[in-house]
Amino acid sequence: MSKNHQILKRKHWIFDLDGTLTIAVHDFNAIRKELGIPQGQPIIKTLESLPEKESRKQKDKLHEIEEELALNASPAPGVKRLLEKLSSQNYFLGILTLNTRENAWTTLKVLGLSEYFSSESVIGRWCTEPKPSPEGIKKILNHWNVCADEALIVGDYLYDLQVGRAAEIATVHVDPSGSFAWPELADISVCSLNELTDLLH
């Protein structure tokens, strides 16, 4: 049995949300500009480090920007097909996002995907230490009561692959451009969710 097939037989899948289950629309540089954060600085960590009053104000502003994006989210090609196939085979599905939990649910509802996830398995940035910390994954695995070698993460960005490595679960990199930066961090690389579905036997 191929290594890919072994990995994809793991029954517990954790997904990144924005840019993985949705078409990527977040312009993080524009968001930084609106929040007055220097280019290249991590948004969440920077907001956390501000004095409390300012931090709360900026977090609210960020939430509004992201809520607007969530309400206008578009599904990534093949997302419904993939989740349908996984759920029909009794896979457990979770989400680990740098977005808020509320916006994650808004996005899932807008896309018609909320039925595939239970509320305990959707972890947003304020629920635990954000990616690339492995805390969110550990929280989901504890909820499922499974070991790291029974799970994998599917994501489009460096943090998704780093968090998978930190939590010692398998990693699947989805990159529509096909350039696959960070190959050393990805166990499986695909250009689309349709391609990933086709690998499932």
**What confidence score (pLDDT) does residue 123 get?**
96
Question: What average pLDDT does range 41-58 have in this prediction?
Answer: 92
**What confidence score (pLDDT) does residue 158 get?**
95
**What confidence score (pLDDT) does residue 1 get?**
53
Does the pLDDT at position 96 exceed 60? yes
Does the pLDDT at position 157 exceed 60? yes
The pTM score is: 0.92
**What confidence score (pLDDT) does residue 26 get?**
78
**What confidence score (pLDDT) does residue 25 get?**
82
Question: What average pLDDT does range 169-182 have in this prediction?
Answer: 96
Q: What is the mean pLDDT of the chain?
A: 94
Tell me phi and psi for residue 188, to 5 degrees: -135, 140
Question: What average pLDDT does range 48-69 have in this prediction?
Answer: 93
d(CA 68, CA 103): 9
- Helix intervals (H) in 72-100: 79-88
Q: Which two tokens stand for residue 10?
A: 């793991």
